[in-house]
Structure 1
Amino acid sequence: PRLFFIAVRNDLVPFGSNDKPNSPWHTSSLRKAYEALPSDLMESWVWWDMPIPPKRQTRFADLIEDEPTGVQWHTTAETRALLSMMSDVNLAKVETAKAAGVRMVGGLYKRTRFQHGIKIQRAEVRFDDIAGCLRTPAGGSSRQLILVVDGKKIKSRLISTRETARLMGLSDNYYLPSTYNEAYHLTGDGVAVPVVRHITKNIIEPVVDFSRANNLVEFPKKSRKELSQKIRSRK
């Protein structure tokens, strides 16, 4: 999971903070790390709190393009080859998806596993409506494939860059680099937009508004809209 540190100046009111850690924002690992801090840092520590965000209304399958750009559906032989690389456990997942009665989309990765002391490449799929990690080439992992199961029909291919952008909360009009690797690197190294927006709305913006109202920090006289227009004009 991502870890966010949000620091404010001492004279700014710590909006949305508590004296003690709370779930789900502060995990046991974070609390343990806090307890190992020097006393002066512990005294200035702020436990930020926010409302629980609304549950997502879309499924993984809703983000998948029927006619993807930049990638092609595998041939029947290529899909069969992937299935042949699956263990009994993963093949059972595919059979369960076939019987679901709705189109199921699973994220699939090729993994190296040890079997009887021998390295073997396996195809591992998940149908829990959660995509696998969008790892960049530097992450040392294979690129994510998708397996689409609709009754007895099974298709597979590389996940498209637009689909990775959708997973990160980017709108379809967001510009992506033209090459696959560059676009995948952008989304794989990015931060989910809805997450940042939730933090901004509930922590950062209240602090900024308080600072502005009490003249604690000097802000540009131009409005946000004017500044945004100026930035766009430079592109």
Structure 2
Amino acid sequence: MPHTYYDFFAGGGMAGFGLGPAWSCLFANDIDPKKAHSYRANHHGGAELVLQDVATLTCADIPGTADLVWASFPCQDLSLAGKGAGLAGKRSGMFKPFWQLVRDLNADGRGPKIVAVENVYGAITSNGGRDFATLAAAFSGLGYRFGAVVVDAVHFLPQSRPRFFIIGVRGDLRLPEGSIQDAPSSVWHPPALIEGQALLSSAARSRWLWWNLPVPAARNLALSDVIEEQPQGVIWHTAAETDYLLSLMTDLNRGKVDAAKQLGTRKVGTVYRRTRPDAAGVKRQRAEVRFDDVAGCLRTPSGGSSRQTIMVVEGDSVRSRLLSPREAVRLMGLPDTFILPERYNDAYKLAGDGVAVPVVRHLADAVFEPVLRRNRLALVA
């Protein structure tokens, strides 16, 4: 019998890829028609997907009873790159109607066994920690025992992508042995999270758990492994375009390129364009490169500066181009069988808004499935 889940703010359904075939989605929701198209293309038609604003849904729209509720609610107002509106913002404020549905499900006797909420790292510190306290109070107020972790996709994929996950287990359920620990872990609980937990209300702290996640094996996938020589959807820059990109670099970043040239081997790096103040305080566009075989965090294509560029150096040869759509979804852990949107921006947005597939699998292995197995055994006993 499969485990069951609801997928809110589902996007292309990456959480489902992470959960895998042992899980069955009873209900999914998103408001973006283009993402919904991708979800359906990659989830056997996606009959469970409802294209509708979460604020207009009611408990009656949601079928059955799910083991897990997954929600990757909008991050823009919580992001360090955002304007600081936090949970009061128009987009990240969608947490409120989502949580009302969770409350209604509990009141209807259909409270999910596990609720997992994903967002950007900035959710911990947004509004001086008050937004984190609001999330914690939501879980605590429904009687869930809960804790949070920060998992960087770089443990599994060649992409730097730290994300915040708050995971709650219904108060009447038993926790499996070894799933929690007495103190925070330096791998999963950064100082900002520890500080935020200390500032929670006494009621929330009384229900707090330090989740015990295993440290994964060393990653064996490098950025160079996912890069295509003949990509679809993008073309290599002209020499003049690459020279212009190099001209936007500071001496520090040009030095990285020069060092890569001296190696005489193929080095693959990534470049983001950012606005930085110069020595006089004047804001200028800069190109910043990294050659550590890890991509920068994928973002949505809100402007040219947010599109990641690939730079390949082989001796004196320097080539550049945009990251391809296929490379972007590979960096999220999706298989090459994943059906891509036709337009570049749609594919890049889908990837940038998604959750890394192997991170979801790690959480399922470490928390979701052990909790469900423990409580199924308890019912049998």
Q: Which residue of the partner structure matches residue 3 of structure 1?
A: 164
Q: Which residue of the partner structure matches residue 36 of structure 1?
A: 199
Q: Which residue of the partner structure matches residue 101 of structure 1?
A: 264
Query: Residues 77, 139 of structure 1: CA spacing in aligned structure 2 closer, same or farther, 3 A cutoff?
Result: closer
**Is the partner of 2:166 in helix, strand or coil?**
coil
TM-score by length of 2: 0.54
Whether 1:20 and 2:183 are equivalent positions in the alignment is yes
Q: Which residue of the partner structure matches residue 283 of structure 2?
A: 119
Once the two structures are superposed, residues 208-234 of structure 1 have per-residue CA deviations (whole angstroms, 9 ceiling, x without a partner) of 111222228xxxxxxxxxxxxxxxxxx
Alignment of 1:183-202 (within 5 A): 183-202=347-366
Once the two structures are superposed, residues 74-125 of structure 1 have per-residue CA deviations (whole angstroms, 9 ceiling, x without a partner) of 0111111111221111111001111223211111011222222333222111
How far 1:140 sits from its partner (Å)?
8.9
Whether 1:129 and 2:293 are equivalent positions in the alignment is yes
Q: Which residue of the partner structure matches residue 77 of structure 1?
A: 240
**Which of residues 172, 179, 182 is equivalent to 2:336?**
172
Report 1 or 2 for greater relative contact order, CA contacts < 8 Å, sequence distance ≥ 6. Answer: 1
What is the letter of the counterpart of residue 128 of structure 1?
Answer: D
Alignment gaps of 5+ in structure 1: 217-235
What is the letter of the counterpart of residue 50 of structure 1?
Answer: L
How far 1:51 sits from its partner (Å)?
1.0
Q: Which residue of the partner structure matches residue 10 of structure 2?
A: none
Q: Identity over aligned residues, as a percent?
A: 53
TM-score by length of 1: 0.87
What is the letter of the counterpart of residue 164 of structure 2?
Answer: L
Larger strand percent = 2
**Is the partner of 2:306 in helix, strand or coil?**
coil
Q: Distance in 1 between matches of 2:294 and 2:306?
A: 17
Query: Residues 121, 176 of structure 1: CA spacing in aligned structure 2 closer, same or farther, 3 A cutoff?
Result: same
What is the letter of the counterpart of residue 342 of structure 2?
Answer: S
**Is the partner of 2:370 in helix, strand or coil?**
helix
**Is the contact between residue 135 and residue 141 of structure 1 (CA under 8 Å) also seen in structure 2?**
no
Which is greater in Rg? 1
Whether 1:88 and 2:88 are equivalent positions in the alignment is no
Q: Distance in 2 between matches of 1:161 and 1:75?
A: 20
Q: Distance in 2 between matches of 1:19 and 1:117?
A: 47
Runs of 4+ aligned residues of structure 1 deviating over 4 Å after TM superposition are 138-141
Alignment gaps of 5+ in structure 2: 1-161
How far 1:162 sits from its partner (Å)?
0.7
Q: Distance in 2 between matches of 1:132 and 1:150?
A: 21
Query: Residues 208, 139 of structure 1: CA spacing in aligned structure 2 closer, same or farther, 3 A cutoff?
Result: farther
Q: Distance in 2 between matches of 1:113 and 1:27?
A: 27
**Is the contact between residue 234 and residue 323 of structure 2 (CA under 8 Å) also seen in structure 1?**
yes
**Over aligned residues, Cα RMSD in angstroms?**
1.7
